[in-house]
Structure 1
Amino acid sequence: MEELVGVAEIRDMLGGNLSRQRVHVITSHRDFPAPIQKLRMGNVWLKRDVEEWIRNRQAAG
Protein backbone atom coordinates (compact mmCIF):
# COMPACT_ATOMS: atom_id res chain seq x y z
CA MET A 1 0.00 0.00 0.00
CA GLU A 2 1.24 3.45 -0.94
CA GLU A 3 2.00 5.88 1.85
CA LEU A 4 -0.05 9.08 1.74
CA VAL A 5 0.77 12.52 3.14
CA GLY A 6 -1.16 15.69 3.80
CA VAL A 7 -0.08 19.25 4.54
CA ALA A 8 1.06 18.45 8.11
CA GLU A 9 3.29 15.61 6.93
CA ILE A 10 4.69 17.68 4.07
CA ARG A 11 5.49 20.43 6.56
CA ASP A 12 7.49 17.90 8.61
CA MET A 13 9.23 16.61 5.47
CA LEU A 14 10.30 20.19 4.66
CA GLY A 15 11.80 20.72 8.09
CA GLY A 16 8.79 21.59 10.21
CA ASN A 17 9.61 25.29 10.52
CA LEU A 18 7.16 26.48 7.87
CA SER A 19 3.66 27.71 8.53
CA ARG A 20 0.72 25.68 7.23
CA GLN A 21 -0.11 28.63 5.00
CA ARG A 22 3.39 28.54 3.46
CA VAL A 23 3.04 24.79 2.83
CA HIS A 24 -0.28 25.45 1.06
CA VAL A 25 1.50 27.99 -1.17
CA ILE A 26 4.29 25.49 -1.94
CA THR A 27 1.86 22.68 -2.76
CA SER A 28 -0.03 24.92 -5.17
CA HIS A 29 3.05 25.60 -7.34
CA ARG A 30 2.90 24.20 -10.88
CA ASP A 31 5.99 22.03 -10.32
CA PHE A 32 4.65 20.40 -7.14
CA PRO A 33 3.13 16.93 -7.66
CA ALA A 34 -0.61 16.90 -8.17
CA PRO A 35 -2.58 15.54 -5.22
CA ILE A 36 -3.94 12.05 -5.78
CA GLN A 37 -7.16 12.96 -4.00
CA LYS A 38 -8.92 16.13 -2.92
CA LEU A 39 -10.85 15.56 0.29
CA ARG A 40 -12.92 17.91 2.42
CA MET A 41 -10.18 17.79 5.04
CA GLY A 42 -7.54 18.70 2.44
CA ASN A 43 -5.49 17.28 -0.38
CA VAL A 44 -3.41 14.12 -0.12
CA TRP A 45 -0.31 13.19 -2.07
CA LEU A 46 1.77 10.08 -2.55
CA LYS A 47 4.70 10.33 -0.17
CA ARG A 48 7.14 9.06 -2.79
CA ASP A 49 6.11 11.86 -5.19
CA VAL A 50 6.70 14.51 -2.52
CA GLU A 51 10.04 12.94 -1.54
CA GLU A 52 11.14 13.00 -5.18
CA TRP A 53 10.09 16.66 -5.51
CA ILE A 54 12.11 17.54 -2.38
CA ARG A 55 15.18 15.64 -3.68
CA ASN A 56 14.97 17.42 -7.04
CA ARG A 57 14.66 20.83 -5.37
CA GLN A 58 17.65 20.13 -3.12
CA ALA A 59 19.76 18.97 -6.07
CA ALA A 60 18.85 22.09 -8.07
CA GLY A 61 19.38 24.49 -5.19
Structure 2
Amino acid sequence: MDVSRTRVLQLIARPDFPEPYERLAGGSVWLAEDVERWITEHQPWKADQEAEEEP
Protein backbone atom coordinates (compact mmCIF):
# COMPACT_ATOMS: atom_id res chain seq x y z
CA MET A 1 0.00 0.00 0.00
CA ASP A 2 1.42 3.36 -1.01
CA VAL A 3 1.08 6.25 1.42
CA SER A 4 1.96 9.84 0.59
CA ARG A 5 4.50 11.75 2.64
CA THR A 6 1.75 14.15 3.69
CA ARG A 7 -0.41 11.29 4.98
CA VAL A 8 2.53 9.78 6.89
CA LEU A 9 3.14 13.12 8.60
CA GLN A 10 -0.55 13.32 9.53
CA LEU A 11 -0.51 9.82 11.00
CA ILE A 12 2.69 10.14 13.03
CA ALA A 13 1.44 13.44 14.49
CA ARG A 14 -1.52 11.63 16.08
CA PRO A 15 -1.14 11.21 19.85
CA ASP A 16 -2.20 7.54 19.61
CA PHE A 17 0.37 6.59 16.94
CA PRO A 18 3.24 4.44 18.26
CA GLU A 19 6.49 6.07 19.25
CA PRO A 20 9.40 5.41 16.89
CA TYR A 21 11.67 2.50 17.72
CA GLU A 22 14.69 4.66 16.89
CA ARG A 23 15.35 8.22 15.75
CA LEU A 24 18.18 8.42 13.24
CA ALA A 25 19.76 11.32 11.38
CA GLY A 26 17.82 10.29 8.27
CA GLY A 27 14.49 10.03 10.08
CA SER A 28 12.52 7.93 12.52
CA VAL A 29 12.12 4.15 12.34
CA TRP A 30 9.07 2.20 13.52
CA LEU A 31 8.76 -1.51 14.11
CA ALA A 32 6.42 -3.02 11.54
CA GLU A 33 4.53 -4.95 14.22
CA ASP A 34 3.85 -1.72 16.18
CA VAL A 35 2.43 0.00 13.09
CA GLU A 36 0.42 -3.08 12.05
CA ARG A 37 -1.04 -3.35 15.57
CA TRP A 38 -1.99 0.34 15.44
CA ILE A 39 -3.69 -0.15 12.06
CA THR A 40 -5.63 -3.15 13.39
CA GLU A 41 -6.74 -1.23 16.50
CA HIS A 42 -7.49 2.17 14.98
CA GLN A 43 -8.27 1.53 11.32
CA PRO A 44 -9.55 -2.06 11.10
CA TRP A 45 -11.04 -1.56 7.62
CA LYS A 46 -7.49 -0.97 6.29
CA ALA A 47 -6.18 -4.07 8.02
CA ASP A 48 -8.95 -6.05 6.31
CA GLN A 49 -8.05 -4.54 2.91
CA GLU A 50 -4.37 -5.43 3.30
CA ALA A 51 -5.24 -9.01 4.26
CA GLU A 52 -7.33 -9.34 1.10
CA GLU A 53 -4.44 -8.06 -1.06
CA GLU A 54 -1.94 -10.65 0.19
CA PRO A 55 -1.52 -13.65 -2.13
TM-score (norm 1): 0.62
Report how many aligned residue pairs link the two structures.
46
* 2:28 aligned to which of 43, 48, 51: 43
Q: Give the number of the structure whose alpha-carbon radius of gyration is greater.
A: 2
Task: Compute the TM-score of the two structures, normalised by the length of structure 2.
Answer: 0.68
Of Structure 1 and Structure 2, the greater helix share is in 2
Q: Tell me which protein shows more strand as a share of its residues.
A: 1
Q: Which has the higher contact order (CA 8 A, sep 6+)?
A: 1
**How high is the sequence identity, in percent, across the aligned residues?**
42
Q: Over aligned residues, Cα RMSD in angstroms? A: 2.0
